[in-house]
Amino acid sequence: MSKLNDELLNDTDEGLLEEVSGLEKLKDGAYNIRKNGQGIERKVTENVNIITKEDKPGINIYVKENTKFEIVHIPVIITESGLKDIVYNDFYIGKNSYAYIIAGCGIHNDHHKDSEHNGIHRFFLEEGAKVKYVEKHYGEGIGDGKRILNPVTEVYLKKGSSLEMESVQIKGVDSTIRETKGILEESANLVVTEKIMTAGKQFAKTIFDVQLNGDDSSAHVTSRSVAQDDSKQYFISKIYGNAKCFSHSECDAIIQDKAIVTATPEVTANNVDANLIHEAAIGKIAGEQITKLMTLGLSEEEAEQEIINGFLR
């Protein structure tokens, strides 16, 4: 186990890391910590190497072929108001390897200037490789400066490889545009689950673009969201079946107050053996659900929160 350098991290930093990565879990496996646009600490292992890019801000992460299991943390924290950070991270996952990668960004903004992080992550999986990728976004602070996060994830899956992505927007993010692009070869599999909550005047837009190019490739996309107050959410899903393939995309949203939620599904079959399914549901919490919980002693507000917690779990 590696001990993080306490001289580089204050209490605010550690609180952000706890939210997006788990401070104690961060000490295991390989990691790279980025703070206010600079890498501040790194650890590599026998099977995972992390190298700083020379042509642009960011890192290359290499997982060796036939690696049985490795954990990799690449958190980003921003505490400087007015900073606009952009980073390019590329992941190269060797043949028949398995990696569990935890990313995410936490922004603390106590001032009036906007703080922004744009993370462009590209995954290149060789044949038979597997990745579980978890990305968490979190914002906090008493300032009126916005906390802005715009992640882009590109996934390139070779024959028989698979990537499972879990994307969570915890709270406190004023504006986000999340783009996920996937290109799948034969027998490759992509599973994406996102959970988003917006409140106040927050804005969230999600865009999925998946190309199923190989026979027996498959994609499963699930979005669950809660929009409260005057917030706005947009869900756009485009899936192209270019071979004998299967996909299922699902958008479920709870809308409250004066919020707006728009879901735009698009499926295109360019092959007679493409099987593409999309489902979308937007609505308020059913009154009978609240009533049932209130009979157990909960207030109306507590009942609503329990339903929302269960929905986003």
Angle at 134 between CA 284 and CA 178, to 5 degrees: 60
Tens digit of pLDDT for each residue in 196-207? Answer: 999 999 999 999
The one-letter amino acid code at 197 reads: M
Helix 300-312 vs helix 287-294: crossing angle, to nearest 10: 120
- Of 22-36, 221-235, 253-267, give the lowest mean pLDDT range: 22-36
- Give the mean pLDDT of 80-92: 97
Tens digit of pLDDT for each residue in 34-47? Answer: 999 999 999 999 99
Identify the pLDDT of residue 6.
Answer: 60
| CA Rg value for the chain | 20
Average pLDDT, the chain: 94
Two tokens at 58?
């960011």
Is residue 80 classed as helix, strand or coil in its secondary structure?
coil
Are 161 and 126 a contacting pair, CB within 8 Å?
Answer: yes
Model pTM? Answer: 0.94
Burial class, 83, CB count within 10 angstroms (exposed 0-12 / middle 13-18 / buried 19+): middle
Is the pLDDT at 91 greater than 80? The verdict is yes
- Spatial distance between the Cα atoms of 158 and 152, rounded to a whole number of angstroms: 20
- Of 59-63, 93-97, 101-105, 167-171, give the lowest mean pLDDT range: 167-171
Identify the pLDDT of residue 2.
Answer: 45
